[in-house]
Structures are given as structure tokens and as C-alpha cells.
């Protein structure tokens, strides 16, 4: 084996492992991942609206929601996630 191959062979093997990692797919499939994120957020926001409607309904008076404090915390957390996703989508829309 010549000296160049002897030196480059381990490096190539190391790079091959890095390139074939599943994580690297996120770099190359950004549009697909953004579309998945948008769909997931759309579904999550629909669920949030349903839960909020039940929580606000005076006829239910909290009967359907046993753990109202946990539900209110969840709703707040969803609001924070929505803000983060909106900022991410804004940054993605601006491009490089």
C-alpha cells in the first residue's frame, strides 16, 4: 500500500461513517422537515383550540377536565412552542 492511501484510508472511513449518519439527512431534507413541522403544528393547534374551548365552556364547568391546572400549563407550553416554531419558520423563510 502506498503512503498516501495509508494516510487517507482511515480518514475516508471516518468521513464515510459521518456522511452516512441519519442525522445528516436533516441538512439535505430541510424542506421536507419544515413541511412536517408545519403539519404537526397545524394538528397541535387544532387540539389546543378544542381543549381551550372545553376549558372555557361554562356548561362544562370543568367537568371534562379533571386536571385543569395541568391543562392550563400545557396550553401555556403550547403557546411557547408556537412562538418558537413561528420564529424558526420566519428564519427559514428568509433563507441563507
pLDDT, one tens digit per residue, over 73-82 is 888 999 999 9
Q: Where are the domains positioned within the chain?
A: 29-94
pLDDT given for residue 66 in this prediction: 65
Q: How far apart are CA 41 and CA 34, in angstroms?
A: 10
Confidence (pTM): 0.63
Q: How far apart are CA 10 and CA 18, in angstroms?
A: 13
At 3, the pLDDT band (50, 70, 90 cuts) reads: low
To 10 degrees, the CA torsion angle through 20, 23, 24, 28? 130
For 51, residues 6+ apart whose C-beta sits below 8 A from its C-beta are 65, 71, 74, 75
The H-or-E segment that residue 63 falls in is: none
Amino acid at each position: 500500500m502506498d503512503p498516501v492511501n495509508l494516510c487517507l484510508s482511515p480518514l475516508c472511513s471516518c468521513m464515510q461513517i459521518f456522511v452516512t449518519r441519519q442525522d445528516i439527512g436533516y441538512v439535505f431534507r430541510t424542506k421536507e422537515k419544515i413541511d412536517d413541522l408545519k403539519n404537526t403544528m397545524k394538528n397541535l393547534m387544532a387540539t389546543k383550540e378544542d381543549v381551550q374551548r372545553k376549558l372555557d365552556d361554562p356548561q362544562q364547568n370543568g367537568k371534562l377536565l379533571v386536571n385543569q391546572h395541568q391543562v392550563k400549563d400545557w396550553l401555556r407550553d403550547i403557546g411557547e412552542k408556537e412562538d418558537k416554531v413561528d420564529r424558526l419558520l420566519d428564519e427559514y423563510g428568509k433563507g441563507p
